[in-house]
Chain A
Amino acid sequence: EPEVTQTPSHQVTQMGQEVILRCVPISNHLYFYWYRQILGQKVEFLVSFYNNEISEKSEIFDDQFSVERPDGSNFTLKIRSTKLEDSAMYFCASSYRLAGAVKNIQYFGAGTRLSVL
Chain B
Amino acid sequence: SQQGEEDPQALSIQEGENATMNCSYKTSINNLQWYRQNSGRGLVHLILIRSNEREKHSGRLRVTLDTSKKSSSLLITASRAADTASYFCATAPANAGGTSYGKLTFGQGTILTVHP
A and B co-occur in one complex: yes
Chain A residues in the interface with B (C-beta under 8 A): 4, 31, 33, 35, 41-45, 48, 50, 55-56, 58, 91, 93, 95, 98-100, 103-111
Chain B residues in the interface with A (C-beta under 8 A): 4, 30-31, 33, 35, 41-45, 48, 88, 90, 92, 99-109
Tell whether, in the assembled complex, residue B103 and residue A43 are in contact, meaning their CB atoms are under 8 Å apart.
no
Q: Is the interface of B mostly helix, strand, loop or mixed?
A: strand
Q: How many A-B residue pairs have CB under 8 A?
A: 74
Chain A contacts for B109, CB-based, 8 A? 42
Tell whether, in the assembled complex, residue B42 and residue A108 are in contact, meaning their CB atoms are under 8 Å apart.
yes
CA distance A56 to B108 in the complex (A): 22
Which one of A33, A108, A109 lies within 8 Å of B102 (CB-CB)? A33
Tell whether, in the assembled complex, residue B106 and residue A99 are in contact, meaning their CB atoms are under 8 Å apart.
no
In whole Å, how far is B110's beta carbon from the nearest beta carbon of chain A?
A: 12
12 A-B pairs whose Cβ atoms sit less than 8 Å apart in the complex: A4-B42, A42-B106, A45-B103, A56-B102, A56-B103, A91-B42, A99-B102, A104-B31, A104-B102, A104-B104, A107-B45, A108-B43
CA distance A105 to B50 in the complex (A): 12
CA distance A95 to B99 in the complex (A): 15
Tell whether, in the assembled complex, residue B45 and residue A98 are in contact, meaning their CB atoms are under 8 Å apart.
no
Tell whether, in the assembled complex, residue B42 and residue A106 are in contact, meaning their CB atoms are under 8 Å apart.
no
CA distance A109 to B90 in the complex (A): 16
